[in-house]
Amino acid sequence: MLIKTKIVATLGPASREREAIIALAEAGVDVFRLNFSHGSIEEHARTLKNVRAASRAIKRPLAVMADLCGPKIRVGRVAGGAVVLAPGSELVIQRDPIEGTAQRISTTLPELIDKAKKGERLSMDDGRIRLEVVRARPPKQIVCRVLVGGHLKSSKGVNLPETDLSDLVPALTEKDRRDVEWIVGQDIDYVALSFVQQAREIDELRKILEAGGSTAQIVAKIEKPQALKNIEAIVEATDAVLVARGDMGVEMDLPEVPVVQKRLVALCQRLGKCCIVATQMFESMIENASPTRAEVSDVANAVFEGADAAMLSGETAVGKYPVEAVKMMNAVCARVEHYLSDEHEDCVQHSELELAGTAEAMIKAVHHIVHTDRIKAVVVFTVAGTTARLLGKMRLEVPILALTPSRRVMQQACLFYGVHAEQTKKPKHTRDVLRMAGPRVRALNWAKKGDKIVVLAGRPLGTPGGLNTLVVHSV
């Protein structure tokens, strides 16, 4: 059974070796995330090599997403890796770097000392730890009172939702630029840009990637309220969106998070862009072998809303049960998809997709044909992957096979809902696509001899945006 909702898994100490990656992929992972907020270039290079080795071993494409650190403010190094902050205690945040203690720490943005004011609130570790500035003493330090305590680890995030830092934190930092210099020379399919606020930040990253010869697509991470003011332009400029609920839940009121999530998923559906829902999906499985009932419902709700993918973070990067987390997420996605296709197809939000032009009209025609005829699968020959992605957004009842001459597009299609991609030689004629389509869908056990499939291609073949041929073909 093809699970149409894709799974993104973050790699880390618990999962970055080849055999662990194979186990995760066999459990259902489609896209592996390299978190550039942690680890060195050398570590990421080894992990990337392991992903590609795993892909060859299981004979299945796997996509890799490089997630840039962005202007994330982080706690500096902490003695022993973690300290305990007690509620009611005072914590000094100083400008100069130090090895942190329970009384004094530094951060990766020393200039915040100049901006934070008395009475403003801070949070750390995705809001788990909360503080209030009680004395501001620029340029050396600020003194905070711990409102909600806990274990504070090295490199955990720091948020200042009430402090204006707009002139200090560009979306693409110097570290990001150095990382992108390395990324453009690697076999990486997606680059995620953190803390996006404007479409021009997407455009800037795209120019850098293209100048370096990279065809990696861009994932805009939405986590700041400022992004919502420009959200349509951002979604139009990007290739995919990641609903980053961790910082979002710290930067804005918690009751707003599910509303923003639903809004973003719907907008991506309307504009034909992939949408990933992330953060704390199965957070409890970092320590426990089973998720909570609420977490299961959270993942299910993301699928019901129309998300193309769900992402695991700490669950697979540092958790005790990475494979079990993937298997559970796969099972939840499968159950919801079965529910939607079995009796409740009317729940699927395919009708919201805004399309125009010949190619787009044909994609809508495919939806109509699949629903009115006994079609077993859709096969599309694609050069850039756009048609395959848009077909996925139509939420067809049947699986989609994307045939492409591009290994990059084959790997990028791992993020497309309901799409299985295979690399093939570029055919000379549309009839060659028809000859390839039947045996491929039979090999996948999607159809048998005599079944009908829909085949899409363009004339001349291989012209991006040239989709103009639709054939109902008997296998």
Give residue-wise pLDDT tens across range 282-294. 999 999 999 999 9
Question: Which domains does the chain show, CATH number per domain?
Answer: 6-70+170-342 (3.20.20.60), 73-159 (2.40.33.10), 355-474 (3.40.1380.20)
- What pLDDT, on the 0 to 100 scale, is given for residue 355? 72
- What pLDDT, on the 0 to 100 scale, is given for residue 165? 80
Question: Which whole number is the average pLDDT over 421-436?
Answer: 91
Supply the mean pLDDT for the chain. Answer: 93
Given a contact cutoff of 8 angstroms between Cβ atoms, the answer to whether 129 and 150 are in contact is yes
- What pLDDT, on the 0 to 100 scale, is given for residue 87? 98
Tell me: pLDDT of 372 over 90.
no
Contacts of 289 (CB under 8 A, 6+ apart): 320, 321, 324
Lowest mean pLDDT among 40-44, 156-160, 445-449: 156-160
Q: What type of residue sits at position 357?
A: G
Tell me: pLDDT of 350 over 80.
no
Q: Work out the pLDDT band at 462, boundaries 50, 70, 90.
A: low
Tell me: pLDDT of 347 over 60.
no
- What pLDDT, on the 0 to 100 scale, is given for residue 465? 66
**Catalytic-role residue among 10, 279, 382, 386:** 279
pLDDT in tens, 201-248: 999 999 999 999 999 999 999 998 889 999 999 999 999 999 999 889
Length of the chain in residues, anyone?
475
Tell me: pLDDT of 59 over 60.
yes
- What pLDDT, on the 0 to 100 scale, is given for residue 357? 77
| pLDDT greater at residue 466 or residue 158 | 158
Give the CA-trace dihedral at 324, 296, 262, 273, to 10 degrees: 30
pLDDT in tens, 242-273: 999 988 988 888 999 999 999 999 999 999 99
Is there a catalytic annotation at residue 221?
A: yes
Q: How far is CA 388 from the centre of its chain?
A: 18
Query: Percent of the chain, pLDDT > 90?
Result: 81
- What pLDDT, on the 0 to 100 scale, is given for residue 172? 92
Tell me: pLDDT of 339 over 90.
yes
| pLDDT greater at residue 361 or residue 349 | 361
Lowest mean pLDDT among 74-78, 86-90, 164-168, 415-419: 164-168
Rounded Cα gap, residues 46 and 20, in angstroms = 14
Given a contact cutoff of 8 angstroms between Cβ atoms, the answer to whether 85 and 146 are in contact is yes
- What pLDDT, on the 0 to 100 scale, is given for residue 342? 75
| pLDDT greater at residue 462 or residue 16 | 16
The tokens describing 415, both together, are 């993020």
- What pLDDT, on the 0 to 100 scale, is given for residue 430? 84
Is there a catalytic annotation at residue 130?
A: no
Is there a catalytic annotation at residue 74?
A: yes
Question: Which whole number is the average pLDDT over 277-303?
Answer: 98
**Catalytic-role residue among 18, 46, 74, 153:** 74
**Catalytic-role residue among 221, 224, 273, 393:** 221
**Catalytic-role residue among 4, 6, 33, 408:** 33
Q: What type of residue sits at position 161?
A: P
Is there a catalytic annotation at residue 374?
A: no
Cis amide bond preceding 110, omega within 30: no
Q: Work out the pLDDT band at 346, boundaries 50, 70, 90.
A: low
Tell me: pLDDT of 345 over 80.
no
Q: How far is CA 397 from the centre of its chain?
A: 24
Rounded Cα gap, residues 4 and 138, in angstroms = 53
- What pLDDT, on the 0 to 100 scale, is given for residue 258? 97
Q: Highest mean pLDDT: which of 119-128, 167-176, 401-410?
A: 401-410
Q: Work out the pLDDT band at 399, boundaries 50, 70, 90.
A: very high
